[in-house]
Structure 1
């Protein structure tokens, strides 16, 4: 009888220990973005610290483009197509980069800045902290936090920049089409 009880006890113990690992919100966020492939979003600047911002009064749009290792969101501001938000999932975490290009496709002097997602994000929202490269490249940006979020219904994409703990700019883009 003891021979049968021990294996049953051990199996029960192992089953109790074999609980699923908690989901990683960074993986969930990338899955959310990849679920948006091909979707187009349009809107405008809803807040800027500088009322004379180059974004003021211009239509802002993006279309989600997916590849195996990255989600890209080329951002058009009025006629300007120089910006792309790039999300990747390196081993170190979840990363957001801002790729800025000239009309001929060559990199701008201020490009590829951004940083890694901080702890505590969700499948629909992540906050990215400026890294050392960004701090060297963009004066004053060492405290930048970019928050990218998607509404529960998937219809509103929000991009917000905070610097020195204060809001600096925010875009609210609504999904276009079905």
Structure 2
């Protein structure tokens, strides 16, 4: 009986040993990761819009700030494949030029900023952002600036932005936070109230 058990287990052990690293990596990259839970936390608000307020904006600029005194509204809108991609327009008063794009990658999550003109054409500075470098959590993900964005910022004379890190934070039924920070003290945060939906704004420019 003992030999029979050994003969039965031997092929099974061989099969387990034959599992390639790529198979294990594919399983690790599948559903159940913090980024998937993070996307799901946002996707539950698909079709809804929420008002926000600036909670940090340092250092103060001597030039007029484009966000101060404007109605700030996020709209969870692009939800055709919510487990793969979400598009979230960020409306600043009558300026409908900004859309945040969250995309699931094999390694984590990517944030891009889609900037358009009123006629729908792309701004000279658009589709910038970065990929997550750590697993993050179901509530918070951080996006250090990527090489493509650094190159574009330098080309457009935006050298201060080459050290940007963006972050998003969500606490269901409470708040959603968009954040930009960089070394040297730059902090910009907008917090949205998820407990009080507001009327949905028009489609962002270009959509």
The verdict on a shared fold, with TM-score over 0.5 as the criterion, is yes
Q: 1:8, 1:41 → 2: CA distance? A: 60
The alignment's TM-score, normalised by the length of structure 2, stands at 0.73
Report the Cα distance in structure 1 between the residues aligned to 2:184 and 2:46, rounded to whole angstroms.
32
* Unaligned 5+ runs, structure 1: 14-19
The TM-score with structure 1 as length reference comes to 0.83
Q: Secondary structure at the match of 2:35?
A: helix
Q: Find the counterpart in structure 2 of residue 2 from structure 1.
A: 2
Identify the residue that residue 173 of structure 1 maps to in structure 2.
192
The structure that is strand-richer by fraction is 1
Confirm or deny that 1:143 pairs with 2:163: yes
- Do the aligned partners of 1:70 and 1:86 also contact (CA within 8 Å) in 2? yes
Of the structure 1 ranges 50-59 and 39-48, higher mean CA displacement relative to structure 2 is found in 50-59
Provide runs of 4+ in structure 1 moved above 3 Å.
Answer: 3-10, 20-23
Structure 1 vs Structure 2 CA RMSD: 3.0
Structure 2: gaps of 5 or more residues: 14-26, 154-158, 199-207
* Corresponding residue for residue 84 of structure 1: 99
Partner of 1:67: 80
Taking a change above 3 Å as real, the CA distance of residues 165 and 95 of structure 1, as seen in their structure-2 partners, is: farther
- The yes-or-no answer on 1:33 pairing with 2:42 is yes
* Paired residues of 2:35 and 2:135 also in contact (CA < 8 A): no
- Written as runs of structure 1 = structure 2, the 5 A alignment for 1:12-23 is 23=32
Contact 1:143 1:165 in 2 (8 A): no
Matched-pair contact (CA < 8 Å) for 1:160–1:167: no
